[in-house]
Amino acid sequence: MEGNANLYAVLAAGFPQDRTKIAIETPERNYTWNDIEAWSGRLATMLSDLRLPAGARVAVQVQKSPMALMLYLATVRAGLVYLPLNTAYKESEVEYFLTDAEPSVIVCDSQNLGWVSALANKTNTPHVFTLDADGSGSLVDAAANSHAAFQTVQSAPDDLAAILYTSGTTGRSKGAMLSHRNLSSNAEVLNEYWGWSADDVLLHMLPIFHVHGLFVASHGALLAGAKMVWLPKLDIDQALKYLPESTVMMGVPTYYVRLLGDPRFTRDVCRNMRLFISGSAPLLSETFNEFKERTGHTILERYGMSETIMLTSNPYDPAQGERLAGTVGMPLPGVSVRVVDDADQPVPAGTIGSVQVRGPNVFSGYWRMPEKTREEFTADGWFRTGDLGLFGGEGVPDTYLSIVGRSKDLIISGGYNVYPKEIELVIDALPGVNESAVIGVPDPDFGEAVVAVVVPRDGQTLDAAQMQAALKGSLANFKVPKRIHFISELPRNTMGKVQKNILREQYKNG
Ligand code: MCA
Ligand code: AMP
């Protein structure tokens, strides 16, 4: 029989022989590799018993817990499509995803069951389950008596494994369709490239509804058969407690800024660490340098996207080169990266252009958006990332890529992407607002902070705090502007386009 391309089968091939070893350690309890197999098996049996059509989506908006990871693995094992949702999303945001993705199952926190059930009714989502942070809920009740032994479904490499929604410049989120091959090829490359081994201990503090925490971090440890210390979120006290027994940590730059902000974070705390990885947003050189000085460790910065998983990485092996601040390193093995001009023609090293990519890790398209998908790929199959970058540059070898900006109007705050258009549409609909512009300004903690510049309607006086409270009704809190400024007119160029660069300059200091 041919090998099974199912992502779970690929990951499970890396589980240790001794399944009684601890796979996941939390402050409350430990889970062995046997537990992972049995719980993902029970949940997969239960999902299969629902007799869902092939490719059915399982939407999940739950707090991070080991059982939530089991649910992810179970969905993949059962040949269904996992659709994770940020826990910060509000009802109106979730409604869009349910309407667009038409999942067969939604799993939510029990405290949200009321509004989620109502939404499920409205959007014809047939199955609703709950899963709470402590691992309890109707999902686990339903699976408790199901068979733990589950034959992982045979999947083809191009079968869908997950849909990750990423916001768009138009304000409408797009579902990036990721296949078993996209995910497993990237996991296998990173396993080798970052030197994973069964002796590693991963300090896992990232959320598990995005690529970084769900795929890059979890797959790394699972495929290596390495233990994870599993914390529900970034908590500096807990991080300081578990770092001495850990060897690998991943985080967005805010994680490193916050660790450095604590004087208890010392070289001694990192005594067993071999690798700190940063990504999802630009790591400032000052953070990179201060980290090196404090701990003796050089943070490895890498670059990726929801549509592509990981693309480039600074070297792990010193024989391949130094880790350079301000760069995202070299294309990963098997991944092609080029920097092009407006005519999609490659530009020489040292020249800034648009970053385009190709490889087995690159997604096949946006869910039910063939037009958008066509626009984002060149005729010869390169995906347009929307990032601006260059190979080489001053003092940097030509093999290293640096990301210097974005052609897409995007703010990255603490590793979460915020598309200004989405926020502007909601602000403009508030009473008394004529128009608005949303910008990102430098922030010491989040890297960038979301700020709104609002033009009130003639003669109206608006209250920033009241507006923020109103916005929190329909937008995830991380998208709500940290500050709102009022202005009589937005600066525009001769084409009538709002000059956000002028606003960024004007409001950069609060
Ligand atoms: C929370 N808040 C935020 C953010 N997070 N505001 C802006 N940006 C954020 N990222 C809000 C909270 O709702 C709260 O507002 C207020 O800010 C203060 O919250 P705080 O307690 O400081 O937040 P926290 O709970 O400590 O969370 C901050 C965090 C978290 C730890 C940095 O945002 C985080 O874990 N970020 C990681 C995101 C991530 O995994 N990104 C990967 C995407 P209020 O009081 O009003 O509620 S994958 C990706 O990008 C690609 C593919 C890649 O390359 O990896
Ligand atoms: P997402 O929409 O969550 O998939 O975010 C992907 C975007 O995050 C990329 O297109 C980049 O703009 C940004 N990104 C990820 N890693 C890095 C990095 N190391 N440096 C700069 N930007 C990054």
pLDDT for the residue 200: 98
At which residue do the structure tokens 């160029």 appear? 493
| Helical ranges in 382-508 per DSSP H | 420-428, 464-472, 500-506
Q: Which two tokens stand for residue 460?
A: 């109206």
Q: Which two tokens stand for residue 2?
A: 């041919």
- Please state whether the predicted TM-score (pTM) of the whole model is above 0.85: yes
Helix (H, G, I), strand (E, B) or coil at 253: helix
Residue 395 has pLDDT above 60, yes or no: yes
Q: With a 6 A CB cut-off, is 416 part of the ligand 1 pocket?
A: yes
- In angstroms, the CA 454 to CA 484 distance is 7
CA 430 to chain CA centroid, nearest Å: 30
Query: Of all residues in the chain, what percent carry a pLDDT higher than 70?
Result: 99
In order, the DSSP letters of 279-311 are -SSPPPHHHHHHHHHHHS--PEEEEEETTTEEE
pLDDT for the residue 334: 98
Going by pLDDT thresholds of 50, 70 and 90, the confidence category of residue 408 is confident
What angle, 0 to 180 degrees and rounded to 10, lies between the N-to-C axes of helices 420-428 and 464-472?
110
Ligand nearest to the backbone CA of 417:
2
Distance 281 CA to ligand 1 centre (A): 12
Note the pLDDT tens digit of each residue in 326-367. Answer: 999 999 999 999 999 999 999 999 999 999 999 999 999 999
Domain 1-233: give its CATH architecture. 3-Layer(aba) Sandwich (3.40)
Index of the ligand 1 atom closest to the CA of residue 303: 54
pLDDT for the residue 172: 81
pLDDT for the residue 78: 98
Helix (H, G, I), strand (E, B) or coil at 47: helix
The residue contributing the CA closest to ligand 1 atom 17 is 478
Residue 1 has pLDDT above 70, yes or no: no
Please state the rounded mean pLDDT for residues 89-104. 97
State the amino acid at position 22 in one-letter form: I
Going by pLDDT thresholds of 50, 70 and 90, the confidence category of residue 279 is very high
Q: Which two tokens stand for residue 204?
A: 């896992």
Q: With a 6 A CB cut-off, is 135 part of the ligand 1 pocket?
A: no
- In angstroms, the CA 96 to CA 474 distance is 12
Domain ranges, ordered by start, for the chain: 1-233, 330-406, 411-507
Helix (H, G, I), strand (E, B) or coil at 483: strand
Distance 207 CA to ligand 1 centre (A): 9
Note the pLDDT tens digit of each residue in 106-146. Answer: 999 999 999 999 999 999 999 999 999 999 999 999 999 99
In order, the DSSP letters of 315-370 are -SSGGG----TT--BEEPTT-EEEEE-TTS-B--TT--EEEEEESTTS--EETT-H
- In angstroms, the CA 285 to CA 402 distance is 12
Domain 330-406: give its CATH architecture. Roll (2.30)
The residue contributing the CA closest to ligand 1 atom 32 is 414
**How far, in Å, are 46, 125, 144, 145, 349 from residue 41 at the CA level?**
9, 24, 11, 11, 50
- In angstroms, the CA 378 to CA 376 distance is 7
Please state the rounded mean pLDDT for residues 395-407. 95
Note the pLDDT tens digit of each residue in 492-507. Answer: 999 999 999 999 999 9
pLDDT for the residue 167: 81
Going by pLDDT thresholds of 50, 70 and 90, the confidence category of residue 178 is very high
Going by pLDDT thresholds of 50, 70 and 90, the confidence category of residue 447 is very high
The residues, ordered by sequence, that sit 6+ positions from 429 with a Cβ below 8 Å of its Cβ are none
Helix (H, G, I), strand (E, B) or coil at 430: coil
Residue 510 has pLDDT above 80, yes or no: no
In order, the DSSP letters of 52-106 are PPTT-EEEEE----HHHHHHHHHHHHTT-EEEE--TT--HHHHHHHHHHH--SEE
CATH 3.40.50.850 matches 411-507: no
The residues, ordered by sequence, that sit 6+ positions from 146 with a Cβ below 8 Å of its Cβ are 42, 43, 45, 46, 49
- Substitution site in 280, 323, 361 for ligand 2 pocket (most atoms within 8 Å of beta carbon): 280
- In angstroms, the CA 364 to CA 351 distance is 29
Distance 413 CA to ligand 1 centre (A): 7
